[in-house]
């Protein structure tokens, strides 16, 4: 090999070493920069964020359960425990009551009832069973079908309505008992 060829090879090797050294230096100095982040966004979105969210939700659920228990204890101490929702006296507003087929609502005097969804019939021991305020008529016979969206009033204690279909909904204002 001639001296010129050896010189060209030596210069090529030196240039190659210089290029590799430069690339290595550039890679090392840019590690973790904005263009080459140390932690990727996908790692944050797929690993870190769900872990933090799960830990937060668990702590929140535990605290909510603790506070609910304390609240229930306070209610019990105050004597305001839950009562069975079968009777109500609410002269100021209507309440929605959902009935199953065969359930009855026995009412006090002056209680108003409006059938909204389903079917129901009048029942009770005394005549008139109900007064149809919308139609202006007495409902004298037990088993008379109520008309949807008609307002009925009970004028004799113990009379009321009986659902003849599941998921029957009535609006009721006054004293009543569901059985």
For the segment 93-122, what is each residue's pLDDT rounded down to a tens digit? 788 899 999 999 999 888 999 999 999 999
Cα distances from 120 to residues 33, 54, 71, 162, 176, in angstroms, run 75, 49, 39, 5, 16
Distances (CA, A) of 132 to 102, 119, 137, 138, 143: 22, 16, 5, 6, 14
Please give the Cα distance from 97 to 112 (Å, whole number): 13
Query: How sure is the predictor about 19, in pLDDT bands with cuts at 50, 70 and 90?
Result: confident
pLDDT band at 29 (very low <50, low <70, confident <90, very high): low
Distance of CA 69 to the CA centre of its chain: 20
Average pLDDT for 152-179: 91
User: CB neighbours (10 Å) of residue 165?
Assistant: 13
The continuous run of DSSP H or E covering 132 comes out as: strand 130-132
Asked if pLDDT for residue 145 goes beyond 60, the answer is yes
Long-range contacts at 22-31 (CB < 8 A, ≥ 24 apart): none
């Amino acid at each position: 090999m001639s001296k010129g060829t050896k010189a060209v090879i030596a210069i090529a090797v030196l240039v190659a070493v210089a290029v590799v050294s430069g690339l290595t230096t550039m890679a090392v100095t840019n590690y973790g920069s904005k263009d080459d982040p140390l932690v990727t966004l996908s790692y944050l979105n797929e690993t870190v964020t769900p872990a933090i969210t799960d830990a937060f939700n668990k702590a929140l659920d535990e605290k909510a359960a603790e506070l609910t228990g304390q609240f229930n204890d306070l209610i019990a101490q105050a004597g305001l425990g839950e009562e069975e929702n079968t009777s109500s006296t609410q002269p100021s507003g209507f309440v929605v009551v959902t009935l199953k087929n065969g359930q009855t609502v026995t009412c006090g005097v002056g209680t108003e009832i409006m059938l909204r969804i389903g079917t129901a019939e009048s029942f009770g021991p005394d005549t008139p069973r109900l007064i149809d305020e919308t139609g202006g008529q007495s409902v004298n016979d037990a088993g008379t079908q109520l008309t949807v969206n008609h307002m009925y009033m009970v004028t004799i204690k113990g009379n009321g309505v009986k659902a003849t279909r599941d998921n029957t909904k009535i609006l009721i204002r006054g004293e009543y008992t569901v059985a």
